[in-house]
């Protein structure tokens, strides 16, 4: 079995998050994508302090899909530098892990 990962991606709004999430699931790159529609972000960009309302994607997939997902996000995302963070899942429900693997396995 492949290693499960959780990918976090902040988006400018819920509409963009839905577009990216649906693309990833329809194309079998991710088993499940959840959207947290309102988060508040603080950061520096181009030496300016920024504060923005964003939406957050929680993407469940396997490690082997990370590069394809990162490419899809970069192609679909409006930000010049989108946040794409991957977290390894070291413990999980085996039945859920099998389901994720089956959803993204196109062999």
Dump pLDDT digits (tens) for 67-96: 999 999 999 999 999 999 999 998 888 899
CATH of the domain at 42: 3.30.70.120
Number of domains in the chain: 1
In a domain, 85, yes or no: yes
C-alpha torsion 83→58→38→77, nearest 10: 40
3-state secondary structure of 14: helix
The string of pLDDT tens digits covering residues 6-22 is 999 999 999 999 999 99
- Residue 78 covered by a domain: yes
Residue 97 forms part of a structural domain: no
Task: Report whether 100 contacts 4 (CB < 8 A).
Answer: yes
The pTM for the full model equals 0.92
Domain coverage including residue 21: 4-91
- Domain membership of residue 99 (yes or no) is no
Residue 55, domain member (yes or no):
yes
Q: Which two tokens stand for residue 16?
A: 């963009």
Cβ atoms of residues 57 and 33 within 8 Å:
yes
In a domain, 80, yes or no: yes
Residue 107 maps to a domain:
no
Residue 53 lies in a domain: yes
The predicted model gives 31-40 an average pLDDT of: 96
């Amino acid at each position: 079995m492949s290693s499960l990962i959780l990918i976090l991606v902040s988006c400018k709004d819920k509409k963009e998050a839905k577009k990216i999430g649906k693309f990833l699931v329809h194309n079998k790159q991710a088993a499940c994508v959840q959207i947290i529609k309102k988060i508040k972000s603080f950061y520096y960009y181009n030496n300016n302090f920024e504060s923005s309302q964003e939406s957050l994607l929680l993407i469940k997939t396997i490690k082997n899909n990370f590069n394809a997902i990162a490419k899809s996000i970069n192609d679909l995302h409006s930000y010049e530098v989108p946040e794409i963070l991957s977290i390894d899942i070291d413990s999980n429900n085996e039945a859920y892990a099998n389901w994720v693997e089956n959803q993204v396995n196109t062999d």
